[in-house]
Amino acid sequence: MGLAELFHSMTNTHSLPSLDLDGVACYMMSPKCRRICVMAGAGISVSAGIPDFRSIATGIYNSKATTAYSSLPTPQHMFDNEYFLSDQAPFYSFFAKDLFPSATTKPTRTHHFLRLLSQKGLLTKMYTQNIDSLERLAGLPPDKIIEVHGSLATASCAECGKSCDAQRMAKTIRRGGLPTCEKCGGAQKPDITFFGEKLPFLVREQMKLKMPDLRNCDLLLVIGTSLAVQPFAGFIDKVPRGCPRVFVNKGAVGSGRAGEYDDKGGQHMWGALGNYRDVLLEGECDRIILQLASKLGWMDELNGVVKEFEGELRRNGGKVDVEGKLLGSSAPVYPD
């Protein structure tokens, strides 16, 4: 541990005045809270009309969207690399019908709040498992977003890795065709991380560097994720000892542990004796985020961010300007 980190960990402990929304708002308004990291999952896009994975009945893994494909051993095989290499039909069919947000899918209040955090210079990094690019559409600067499981913005060959035009690939799939690599004839797929695949280069680089933004953050917001998938779930332990961690979710998630708080990592500890830094804010994330914004006195600014977005939308004839927002991608990827 370097000197700066040691100082940070010593001075940053026990900073939440209370383990609830008031305590979080109070801490966020204090000068101690200058660097906020966010870890997010499918729950933040649910109110935009995109289902999550694991919610009972509505989650992709429990709904018709995946259970309709009887050839899949389990719904998760929809996103399994080995399975995809042997049989592309279920994924392509799912991709064509269910995977894309529509051209009118809009970022949620939670996304807009994150944009505001960024505008205020408080957001250092947003780690998202989502592939819907709604963070980018909301206007978060691309260098603040780490798409841990890739995104639909780009595509490549699943066999040799040669990149291809994501939009052309999407059109071929929607026409019922099989998009194949011009170099090796392998199947093409969007650059979303399937089970059994390496994480994107940028993520591996961050992991090699031991997640510098997380190591140096003053507050971690974990929003709308079940924390069921590694290594993402383990990122909650990369923040300094003592750094407050706030979990915003419809229900309690992850592997909380009853008993005394030992701060050794691996679990979050709301409810445990001695817990001083983990907070669960239970409920719909948009509602909780609005409550937080209100406590922070940020409602006018948040409304301003939303208005700005809506204005841009109107200028684009009601369609989200995907192309303009996807840095490094030449093609809009949502359906025409």
Binding residues for Zn(2+): 157, 160, 181, 184
Angle at CA 155, nearest 5°, toward 149 and 158? 85
Binding-site sequence positions: 157, 160, 181, 184
Joined together, the tokens standing for residue 102 give 């529509």
Q: Which of 112, 136, 149, 189 binds ligand OAD (CB under 6 A)?
A: 149
Which amino acid is it at 308?
E
**Rounded CA separation 123/297 (Å):** 18
Site string for Zn ion, 164-203 (x = CB under 5 A): -----------------x-xx-x-----------------
Q: Which among 88, 42, 95, 45 has a CA at the least distance from the CA of 65? A: 95
DSSP state of 6: H
Cβ 95 to Zn ion shortest distance, Å: 18
Q: Considering the rule CB under 5 A, would residue 162 count as an interface residue with Zn ion?
A: yes
User: Which long-range CB contacts under 8 A does 133-136 form with residues at least 24 apart?
Assistant: 133/322, 133/325, 133/326, 133/333, 134/44, 134/45, 134/48, 134/50, 134/101, 134/105, 134/106, 134/107, 134/108, 135/40, 135/107, 135/111, 136/325, 136/326, 136/327
Q: Residue 249 binds what, of ligand OAD, Zn ion, none (CB under 5 to 8 Å, by partner type)?
A: ligand OAD
Find which of ligand OAD, Zn ion, none residue 284 binds, CB within 5 to 8 Å per kind.
ligand OAD
**Residue 136 main-chain phi, psi, to 5 deg:** -65, -40
x/- map, 64-103, ligand OAD, by CB under 6 A: ---------------x------------------------
Phi then psi dihedrals of residue 208, to 5 deg: -60, -40
Site stretch for Zn ion (CB under 5 A), options 86-94, 124-132, 150-158, 189-197: 150-158
Number of residues that bind ligand OAD (CB under 6 A): 26
- Residues 118-147 binding ligand OAD (CB under 6 A) are 129
Q: Which residues bind ligand OAD (CB under 6 A)?
A: 41-43, 46-47, 52-55, 59, 79, 129, 149, 193, 195, 224-226, 228-229, 249-251, 253, 284-285
